[in-house]
A and B are shown apart, each in its own frame.
Chain A
Amino acid sequence: MSASATDAPNCARDGENGLVQLEVTDRAPLVAVAGNPNTGKTTLFNRLTGHRAKVGNYPGVTVERLEGRLTLPGHARSARIVDVPGTYSLAARSVEEQIALWSICGLGAYERPDAVVLVVDGTQLERNLYLVLQVLELDLPVVVAVNMVDELLEQERELDADALAQDLGVPVVALSALRGSGLDELKEAVAGVLEDPARGRPGARWSPDEPDASTVVERVAAAVPDDWCAGDAERRRALALWSLLSVDDEDELEGLPEPLRRAAIDERARYEADGRCLEQYLVAGRYGWIDAHAERWTRGAGDLARKVTDRVDALLLHPLLGFATFLALMTVLFQSLFRWADPAIGAVEEVFGALGAWAEGALPAGFLRDLLVEGVIAGVGGVIVFLPQILLLFLFVAIMEGTGYMARVAFLMDRVMRSVGLHGRAFVPMLSGYACAIPAVMATRTMERRRDRMLTMMVVPLMTCSARLPVYALLIAAVFPVTGDHGFEQGLLMSAMYVFSTLVALAAAAVLGRTLFKGEHAPPIIEMPPYRLPRPLGVLRVMAERSALFVREAGTVILACTIGMWLFLSFPGEVEHSPEVAADLARVEAAQAAGEPLDDAFVTQVEARADGELLRGSYAGRLGHAIEPTIAPLGFDWQIGIGLLGAFAAREVFVSTMAVVYGMDESAAEEGDALRDEVRARTRPDGSKLYTPAVCLSLMVFFALACQCMSTLAVVKRETGGYRWPAFMFVYMTVLAWVASFVVYQSGRLLGFD
Chain B
Amino acid sequence: MRRVGTLAVPYVAGILLLVAVPSLGAVALAFTDFSGVSAPVFTGLDNFRRLLGDEGFWRALGNSGVYVVIAVPLRLAIAVSLALLLNRRGPGVGAARAAAYLPTVVPDVAYAFVWLWLLNPFYGPLALVADAAGYSPGWLTDPWGARISIAVMGAFQIGEAFLVALAARHTIPSVIYEAAAVDGLRPLQVVRRITLPIMAPVLALLALRDVVFSFQANFVPALVLTDGGPRYATTFLPLYIYRQAFRYFRLGYASAMTISMFVLTALVIYVQYRLARRWRLI
- A and B: real partners? no
A binding-site residues for B, Cβ under 8 Å: none
Task: Name B's A-contacting residues (CB within 8 A).
Answer: none
